[in-house]
Amino acid sequence: MNNKKTTIFLVSFFILLGIAFLSYYYKVNSELKKISPLPVIGNDQNHHIAPFSFVNQEGKTISNDDIKNKIVVVEYFFATCKGICPKMNENLSTIYKKFKGNKNVLFLSHTVDPVKDTVAALKAYSLRFDADPQQWMFLTGDKKELYDMARYSYLISAEDDTAGITIDKDFIHDKHYVLIDHFGRVRGFYDGLNEADITKITGDIKTLIEEMKDK
């Protein structure tokens, strides 16, 4: 009889122990899933993009208030570019189509040549990609402010690829997309000409969408 009680006790003990272990494992695993695989990029964890004010292809002023709590893909280009820009925007269009209609994901294409890239020029350029101006915005504005955003907020470096077009020496042109999270932090750089990076940024946008759900 004592042996039977002992057996029942041991079985019950190990069942409870197993339940406790599974509960602990589930809790730890859930916490680990909340840890983002994407780094926060910048000199420190407090790097956020600065306030800005530019004009989109509809002539509407767009500021940081318009991207608050949004995931944003950023690029720099110019409409008369015959070099990397057309391919970059074809690839960006592929990404855009995957999230078209998702109000939490925006695309900002900044011109590096605001003199030539007027609102009308950007509107005509945006039509090539059937870009919804509510979600994919082609931005122009003050050159210094555009460039300062690239260098100091989006942390984009300069690259010379003017494809024979004469532009002044202070010229930013970069083949990378920048991924910004809903807190306004830089979370990744992606080669806009590389298929593997196109796939990666698509997956990383989905990761940030999941992070938004957990906030």
Across the chain, which has 215 residues, the per-10-residue mean pLDDT values are 60 60 46 64 84 98 96 96 93 97 97 96 97 98 94 76 45 86 96 96 97 79
The pTM score is 0.79
Residue 213 is predicted with a pLDDT of 84
How many residues make up the chain in this entry?
215
β-strand partners of 53 = 63
Residue 2 is predicted with a pLDDT of 59
Residues contacting 29, CB < 8 A, separation 6+: none
Question: What is the token pair recorded at 57?
Answer: 């292809």
Residue 135 is predicted with a pLDDT of 98
Distance CA 63, CA 33 (A): 33
Residue 35 is predicted with a pLDDT of 54
Task: Give the CATH number of domain 53-214; options: 3.40.30.10, 3.40.50.10540, 3.40.50.720, 2.60.120.200.
Answer: 3.40.30.10
Can you give the residue ranges of every domain in the chain? Answer: 1-35, 53-214
| CB 102, CB 137: distance < 8 Å | no
Element (H, E) at 105: strand 105-111
Q: State the CB neighbour count (10 A cutoff) for residue 93.
A: 16
